[in-house]
Chains A and B, each alone.
Chain A
Amino acid sequence: MSDKNCNCDVISLGNTGKPDCSLIADIAAFPLLDMAKDSTGAPKERNKTDLTVWANLEPILNAADPLDRIYPIGKFENVEHNREDDVFWTANSGKTAFVREGFKTFQGFIVNAPRELTGKLNSNACQSFGFHFLDDSNQLVTKKGTDSTKCRPILIDSDTFRTKYVEATNDAPAMLMLSFQWKSTEKDADVVVVGGLDYTGSDVYGLLDADAIYSNESTAGFTATIVTTCFGGAVEGLTLSDFTAAEISPTPGAIVLASATETSAGVYDIVFDTAQTSGDVIRLSASKDRFDFSEMSDGTNDITIP
């Protein structure tokens, strides 16, 4: 990016007044990844209050549509978040001329992060996305929107988004290193700092993917063993109202569930309201904060009634 966007309509210099008090960004601590476009395909723009008020933010962390969701990564340490030197051309006479702005790079470490997170984050590299972040002073740092109540993610050059797992040594714990560059179109002057958050970085969370393995299928019901796909932990505490079931074939439609019993951690005996017919294909779905059950209902492991 050259950043030679000189405003030739103005024949004077820009005014240089500063307010007596303004919010200054602190060290980046909690990056919040956000898709570049929303579910309608429009460039993502959020109300600032969606990111500063917990009651608004938590539904976004759990949004059913992945394009509308915010993806917190965790607490970063030893963050370096700087713009490289600008590039100048030097004439034989010694005169220099501005060529382009240096790229802005983020690099930081999550201490004791699970290594599975490396794969999850590296798979983002083909997406178009950006980030906001919470700084060490618990302020939101984001990009200006179309008006003062709105904000947008600071776009990331996804070609540069990379995580690396750093093994533990005698002197340091295991860590996950993340680095990326801002998209060359993103300017420091467009970044805004918002204070007054009613939550802290340790309140935010990313979702765990969960999937089910089925057994004991019969016309009366089945057993679903539900675990997180990356980490294998049991998904406990689901209630009957967290589940929905539908017949996929031969007669698509909702199925009423009569009961659910968690017989052991993450193992649920599900009973149908009315007996199903042999050969029916049933799909179970679930919904609960902190989990993404889309793998369970993606059509790859439906239940066929024996």
Chain B
Amino acid sequence: MIIKVINGTQFNVRSIQKMSLSKFKELYKVRFGENTESVYFEITGKVKKEKPKKKKDKNEEAPN
């Protein structure tokens, strides 16, 4: 078993790697608060996918 300890919690790395981020948040939000996401990515080694910024279509701009 590969164990990673973060703020006193010992995680089973394989188990967390199989867990979705939303499930992880549900289980550990109380313990880690706003750091929950970063804890998840630290344990799993996964890279957080940045959502591509929506480019504003010039044609959609409101007429003056």
Binding site for B on A (CB under 8 A): 220-221, 239-241, 256-263, 271, 273
Bound state CA distance, A199 and B11, in angstroms?
37
**Are the C-beta atoms of B9 and A256 separated by less than 8 Å?**
no
Say yes or no: is B10 at the interface (Cβ < 8 Å to chain A): yes
Instruction: Show the binding face of B for A, using Cβ within 8 Å.
Output: 1, 3, 8-12, 15-16, 18-19, 27-28, 31
Question: Which listed residue (B12, B19, B31) contacts A240, Cβ 8 A?
Answer: B12
Closest 10 CB pairs of A and B: A240-B10, A261-B9, A258-B15, A273-B15, A259-B11, A241-B1, A260-B10, A259-B9, A258-B12, A240-B3
Contacts of A258 in B (CB 8 A): 11-12, 15-16, 19, 27
Q: How many A-B residue pairs have CB under 8 A?
A: 42
Q: How far does the alpha carbon of A262 sit from the alpha carbon of B31 in the complex, in Å?
A: 12
Partner of B27, one of A239, A241, A260, A271: A271
CB pair A257–B12 under 8 Å, yes or no, is yes
Smallest Cβ-Cβ distance to B9: which chain A residue: A261
A-B residue pairs in contact (CB < 8 Å), sample of 28: A220-B27, A221-B27, A239-B3, A239-B10, A240-B1, A240-B3, A240-B12, A241-B1, A241-B3, A257-B12, A257-B15, A258-B11, A258-B12, A258-B15, A258-B27, A259-B9, A259-B10, A259-B12, A259-B16, A259-B28, A260-B9, A261-B9, A261-B10, A261-B31, A262-B8, A271-B27, A273-B18, A273-B19
